[in-house]
Structure 1
Amino acid sequence: MVQGADITFENVARRFGRRWAVAGVSFAVKAGEGVALTGHNGSGKSTLLRCLATALKVHHGRILVDGQPLWDNRHTLRPRICMLSHAGALYDDLSGEENLRVWARLGGHTGDLPALLDRVGLAGRKEPVRTYSAGMRRRLALARLILHQPGVVLLDEPYTALDAKGRALVTEVATALRAEGATVFMATHLMDYARHVCDRRIELLDGEMVSDGEVPR
């Protein structure tokens, strides 16, 4: 089992220049919940996830993880959080397995790396990651997510650049992590897929939360 976390957003706001990408968002999520963040491009979904990942500092309000202010305790809380995004940190000159070895060593993780690559459809690939397609890179990032086994999972448009099998894999991995106890956030336009992972939907519009409710089954 993984240790999920209660997450609380208290009047969180983040701007870029004069534009508020997130403008006073407040809601709470219990450990083990699955939350879909929806809204048009530029609504603030990715910015909110990046703030939770500590990739961005909020300009107003705060985020709490199990009651602890995230930014003030980011060095101890960040290892519990893992984000899958378009800009996943990959070592382009290394193979997929070599990437996993680096991440395993840095994070103190253990696992059968060849079996992990087989699970995500990258078994036997020896070429450097720079030759990977966008879908293959997303699959490798999924392997990293499985290796990490984080308590808080952040998925930023995870179905992008994937075929039907790849999208099914994302759903399988995210569902398995939730079953293990992880708290999952997914920014997406594809609710037909997200509804299999998330039981709650929060919609953003121009940086503000406009709805919060259950995902219909």
Structure 2
Amino acid sequence: MVSSIDLRGVFIKTLIYTESNLIPMDTILSLNNVSKKFGNMPVLKDIDLDIKKGEFVALLGANGAGKTTLVKIMSALSSPSEGTVMVNGNDISNDQGSLRGIIGVISHETYLYNDLTAVENLHFFGQMYSIASENLEARINGLLEEVELVKRADDRVSTFSRGMKQRLSIARALLHEPSILFLDEPYTGLDQHAAHTFEKVLLELDPKDTTRLMITHDINRAYHMCDRVIILDKGSIVFDSLMSQVVSAEELRDIYSSHVGDYDTF
């Protein structure tokens, strides 16, 4: 570990030393020269990226740009062909099991069991994440209330609409209070009411406890919700900025178009 100190001895910054680089202490997720190939086809190319604790990052890019592949690598669901991924200063390849315990994933795939009820699904995942039984019941009840599924708690998931399944998957992802939340097109299948409910839950998460990265095609939503934006094109990061440096959603659209071309919004 390395500290930098000015001439008066005032502490400025602490860094974690790794074999590859120096990572600032406030960085929760760091990628160094990450590349991914499927066969001979490159999907990600030499990605260098640091994400700070508490950031809410929007990841934009055209279909096929490598966004989902990047998130799968960051969430330990896939391994890079080259490069390293560090979470809290630890190489994710050394202990994927424990690191997955601090990660939550919401995507168009709900990861729910249709033959179980809503409560049974959450109990299953709570046990998988080793949540203490004395805390699990209260956590489940609170989340079902937040996603407005209390009245359907004892119904099988197979009877749920797509929007209801997506809301339950939000509860599933938040159950173990993850430090990092990955959102891969999380609004897929949500009607306007459900989307508003989800947005409320998402924005109420304390940034001291939760870092969020969201893949989306919705530039307007990204601009108004997130505090940083990254644009991925053909497997490479082509733009990375604090959202405060972007004047408006219209400017973000122009930036996106200048790097990627035409965009789609949902």
Shared fold by TM > 0.5?
yes
Q: Are the equivalent residues in 2 in contact too, given 1:13–1:21 (CA < 8 A)?
A: yes
Counterparts in 2 of 1:9-28, with a 5 A limit?
9-28=31-50
Alignment of 1:133-212 (within 5 A): 133-212=161-240
Equivalent residue for 1:51? 73
- From 151, 160, 175, the counterpart of 1:124: 151
2:50 match: secondary structure? strand
Secondary structure of 1:124's match?
helix
User: Larger radius of gyration, structure 1 or 2?
Assistant: 2
Separation in structure 2 between the aligned mates of residue 138 and residue 122 of structure 1, nearest angstrom: 11
Moved more, 135-144 or 9-18: 9-18
CA contact (8 A) 1:171 1:196 kept: no
State the match for 2:259 in structure 1. none
CA distance in 2, matches of 1:208, 1:160: 25
% same residue: 34
1:23 aligns to what SS in structure 2? strand
Higher relative contact order (CA 8 A, sep 6+): 1
User: CA 1:9/1:178 → structure 2, altered by over 3 Å: closer, same or farther?
Assistant: farther
1:93–1:129 contact (8 Å) kept in structure 2: yes
Q: Is the 8 A contact 1:6 1:66 kept in 2?
A: yes
Rounded Cα–Cα distance in structure 2 between residues aligned with 1:10 and 1:168: 36
In the alignment, which residue of structure 2 is the partner of 1:76? Answer: 98
SS of residue matched to 1:177: coil
Query: 5+ residue gaps in structure 1?
Result: none
| Superposition deviation, residue 112 in structure 1 | 4.5
Give the equivalent residue in structure 1 for 2:254. Answer: none
- 2:205 is paired with a residue whose SS is helix
TM-score (norm 1): 0.91
Contact 2:73 2:80 in 1 (8 A): yes
Q: CA deviation at 1:79?
A: 0.5
Deviation at 1:180, TM superposition (A): 4.3
Runs of 4+ in 1 over 4 A off after TM superposition: none
For residues 57-106 of structure 1, what are the alpha-carbon distances to aligned partners after superposition, in whole Å with 9 as ceiling and x for unaligned?
Answer: 11011111122111112122121111111223211101111111111222
DSSP-derived class of the 1:121 partner:
coil
The amino acid that maps onto 1:127 is D
1:179 aligns to what SS in structure 2? coil
Alpha carbons 2:230, 2:241 under 8 Å: kept: yes
SS state at 1:145 partner = helix
Match of 1:108?
Answer: 130
Counterpart Cα distance in 1 of 2:179 and 2:122? 19
- TM-score of the two chains, using structure 2 as the length reference: 0.75
Equivalent residues, number: 214
